[in-house]
Structure formats: structure tokens, C-alpha cells
Amino acid sequence: MAELVFFSGTMDCGKSTLALQMDHNHAARGRTGIVFSRDDRAGVDRISSRLGLESAAREVGDDTDFWDEVAADRARGRAVDYLVCDEAQFYSPEQVEQLARLVDETGTDVFAFGITADFRTRLFPGAARLIELADRVEVLQVQSLCWCGARATHNARTVDGRMVVEGAQVVVGDTGAAGSAASVGYEVLCRRHHMRRMTEATARASTSDGAVLI
């Protein structure tokens, strides 16, 4: 039975790596799929993981209709057994509904990957619809960690090194530059430190010797 599965977690927990692995494993068994992504950090028509893997993907735009995409491939004689959908938080609720319809009416497996909540802890509309419609929501096993060592559950955005809680919902960016002056960065935090607006840099700055206080 085909399924719509939403693999979710914070930024930097291995979602794109798993997406590439899923595609590899299904393709290795002779199944044919399409890999989609939207606004990957590596650029248009790409899917990339911080482990160094990178591959071609079909870029999802506002006007992408997944039903039409799959129908067009099948009309050209190409089988479509599964879809891998990365950065699915950026898809619209209507696009998520198209994915569910593909599962139910054509038996296509859909493996979607994305973060659930934005830097304000609010659900992305696409992620919310996935949680509502998915057969299963799988939280990734690999835990990304807050600077304090606790499991990271939330995504923080920094602008010029300072954590912010206002701004556009979508700003493509990366973790690792959060304490630097690079204009927009991200850092994963546990809820306690997200609520306290305490990034690693803030915690260090609050002690005279630069040590971090939990």
C-alpha cells in the first residue's frame, strides 16, 4: 500500500541525507522516482546534504502541480513509483494535497522531508498540511543538539549574530554561521534556550571568561 510519509526534524538533523539515501535504495531495486526540492542552499534544481552528497532535483515553484508533473512523465512512458520531496515545508498546502491524491489514486509512494516550525516556532503551512494528511510522521533518529547538550527541538534565526523572532518566514540560509556577522544564520536550540533567546554566542557573552552557562 502506497504511503505519504513526512520525515521531520530540526534543521541539520539529516533530512536531506536520508532523502538521498531513500532515493538511492529505491532506485537500486529498480523503482523509478522523481526527486523534488525547493530553495535548496546549493541552488535551483539541486538537493544537497551537509555530508557532501548532492544531486539533481526538480525545482518546485509556486505553480508546480505534482499531479500534472507525474501525469506528464507517465504520458512519456516513464514509470513513477515514488516521489522524494525535500524542503517540503516550503510547499503550499494545495501542493501537499496533490501529493496525498497521488498516493491514494495512483499508488505512488511519497517521501516528504522538512522542518516543521519556523524561527518563531510557528508551523510552516506546508508542514502543517503534511502533519494533517500524512500516513506517518517520522521524527529523525539522529538528534541535533543545542549548545547546552540537550536535544535540539527548535530552529533559531540570527541576524548579524543576534537571535531574532520577527521577519519573513522564508529566508534560505545555513546553520554554523549563527554567531558570526554573516547577515542571516540559523542555530538549533532546545526549547528552554529558544524561549530565553539564548544562542551559544549569547551564552558565551554573558560570562566574563567566555564559558557557557547552562
Ligand X SMILES: Nc1ncnc2c1ncn2[C@@H]1O[C@H](COP(=O)(O)OP(=O)(O)O)[C@@H](O)[C@H]1O
- Which residues carry out catalysis? 87
Residue from 5, 7, 12, 83 in contact with ligand X (CB under 6 A)? 12
Stretch that binds ligand LXEULUCI, among 102-110, 133-141, 166-174, 201-209 (CB under 6 A): 166-174
Identify which of residues 142 and 165 has a Cβ nearer to ligand X in the complex. Answer: 142
Identify which of residues 7 and 82 has a Cβ nearer to ligand X in the complex. Answer: 7
DSSP state of 191: H
The C-alpha cell of 42 is what? 546549493
- Report the alpha-carbon distance of residue 165 to residue 80 in Å, rounded: 41
Q: What are the DSSP calls for 145-183, one per residue?
A: B-TTSSBP-EEEEEETTEEES-S-S-----BS-TTSSSS
- Does residue 7 contact residue 87 with C-beta atoms inside 8 Å? no
The CB-of-204 to ligand X minimum distance in angstroms stands at 22
Point out the residue whose Cβ comes nearest to ligand LXEULUCI: 118
DSSP state of 33: E
Is 17 one of the binding residues for ligand X (CB under 6 A)?
Answer: yes
The CB-of-18 to ligand X minimum distance in angstroms stands at 7
Identify which of residues 73 and 174 has a Cβ nearer to ligand X in the complex. Answer: 174
